Chain A
Amino acid sequence: MRVRALDLRADRVVRIAGRRHLLRDVTLSATSGELVAVLGRNGAGKTTLLSVLAGRQNPDGGRVTLAIDGRPATGAAARAAIGMLPHDLLIYPDLTARENLAFFMTLAGRAPDGAFVSDVLARIGLARDGDRPVRQFSRGMQQRTALGRLLVSGADAWVLDEPTTGLDESGRRWLLALLSEQVAAGRLVLMSSHHPSEVAACATRTVVLEAGRVVLDGPGGADGTAAAFARMDGGAA
């Protein structure tokens, strides 16, 4: 399946909870081929921002717009284009990995394809364990299953909220390699992390959030990461 060109924009997005702001006038845009690292301390609003961008929450102010191949997309078409991997992994523990992937493939509106599912299982390293219930998996294996969900759905943009949580060193490296691969193939990847260092190598853009505001939006790589570190450390208490 061809990866389409996406243009995802947040335009002065506001998100409130009672009398507090979670996001204040956040303006951000991301396009296919980017790996955007969303950084910030706890409570900075990373999860909220990603939820709003992925369509899981509606903004209380401002707008989120998505264009696919230059044309605006809303509703089901927009949801088909964006895949999200939040903290709660959104997979069914009582189904096997294979059943999970087949289910989500159908949900994504694609005709069931057993061979494709097997391919994806192999790619995420679960070829052998594909027919065991996910409940028996380790966190790392569950994470891989959740990533498999994104792969079978054919989404052109991936939004991942702290996907490296609970992974060991090799798991993290595998994940970041997979993400870089996806970006190289033309996908848009947005991911949040507590640790700028781990995304240093692969991010093409670095965004730092603080108290719901974007305080830094610059290139990735080592320089971008250094700037992010400085911003996060030097930020007011």
Chain B
Amino acid sequence: MIRAWRQFVAIVRKDLVVEFRTREILLTMALFSMLLVIVFAFAFLSDPTRARDYGPGIIWVTVLFASTIGQNRLFDRERENGCLWSLLLSPTGAGTIFLAKATTQLVFTLLMELPTLLLILVFFDLPVVRPGAFAGALVLGTVALSLVGTLFSAMLMNARMKEVLLPLVTYPLLVPVVIAGVKVTSVAVGAPVAEDPGTWLRFLLGFDMIFAVATWFLFGRMIRA
């Protein structure tokens, strides 16, 4: 167990170290998401008084798209040097490798979300009346995105048309996450909706738990063809 933990930490640390030296993925994700926010501002802000109605939706669309881009990049790098195979050929278990990669993806996406959210809150003048729910939805939602996205971006690493296949495959599975996320975020920014954030947060937690087990289990079976 300790060995698996050490291997997990080593992989995550390695990915973070490599990323911080090159900053390619973080910059790509952050720039793309900020540009997307600006485009959304022009697309939706003709009536600023209704920002609370579509602000949450914009937050989740941006997070979803940016995380997809990040996932493709993350495995591009592994593919360049065949390094995913160096991980898989080592005695490290496939499950450990998967969790490490998903964790890296989670960290990158959360880091990307910080400046993006700031930008959205400022441009759209959204108050955060319930910060706990706001943060909770984003963290739980990002976990879900990372789990599903990492599984399939690893599998599709060498596929043709992987840029289209990844969203095609992951978005239907992630729609409930977007629904739940937008519900909670709407309440969290004070939109006049009659929703109970607790229910939706529990929904996200349930999603995360079930998909964490399912993706972790499936990765090993799927990657060793």
Interchain CB contact under 8 A, A95 and B92: no
Interchain CB contact under 8 A, B89 and A99: no
Known A106-B10, A107-B87; judge A90-B92 contact (CB<8 A): no
B160 to chain A minimum Cβ distance, whole angstroms, is: 15
Partner of A94, one of B7, B22, B85, B89: B22
**Is A202 among interface residues, defined by CB-CB distance under 8 A?**
no
Digitize B1-24: 1 where CB-to-A-CB distance is under 8 Å, 0 elsewhere.
001001100110010011001100
Q: Which of B68-126 contact A (CB under 8 A)?
A: 80-83, 85-93
Known A88-B81, A88-B82; judge A76-B93 contact (CB<8 A): yes
Residues on the A chain within 8 Å of B85, using CB: 56, 86, 88, 90
Per CB-CB distance, the 6 closest pairs between chain A and chain B, nearest first, are: A88-B82, A90-B86, A80-B91, A106-B10, A107-B90, A76-B91
Known A76-B93, A79-B89; judge A109-B3 contact (CB<8 A): yes
In the complex, 30 of the A-B residue pairs with CB atoms within 8 angstroms, ordered by the A residue number, are: A54-B89, A56-B88, A76-B91, A79-B90, A82-B89, A86-B82, A88-B85, A89-B81, A90-B81, A90-B86, A91-B83, A92-B14, A92-B18, A92-B81, A93-B81, A95-B17, A103-B10, A104-B86, A104-B90, A106-B6, A107-B7, A107-B11, A107-B87, A107-B90, A107-B91, A108-B90, A109-B7, A109-B91, A111-B6, A149-B86
A226 to chain B minimum Cβ distance, whole angstroms, is: 35
Interface residues on B, range: 20 to 34
Interchain CB contact under 8 A, B87 and A58: no
Interchain CB contact under 8 A, A153 and B224: no
Chain B residues proximal to chain A, CB less than 8 Å:
3, 6-7, 10-11, 14, 17-18, 21-22, 80-83, 85-93, 224-225
**Is A77 among interface residues, defined by CB-CB distance under 8 A?**
yes
Number of A-B residue pairs having CB atoms within 8 Å of each other in the complex: 76
Residues on the A chain within 8 Å of B87, using CB: 107
Distance A92 CA – B10 CA, assembled complex (angstroms): 13
Q: What is the interface of chain B mostly: helix, strand, loop, or mixed?
A: helix
Chain A residue at minimal CB-CB distance from B82: A88
Interchain CB contact under 8 A, A79 and B14: no
Q: Which of A64-101 contact B (CB under 8 A)?
A: 76-77, 79-80, 82-84, 86, 88-95, 99
Residues on the B chain within 8 Å of A80, using CB: 90-91
Distance A90 CA – B83 CA, assembled complex (angstroms): 5
Distance A83 CA – B90 CA, assembled complex (angstroms): 8
Distance A217 CA – B21 CA, assembled complex (angstroms): 48
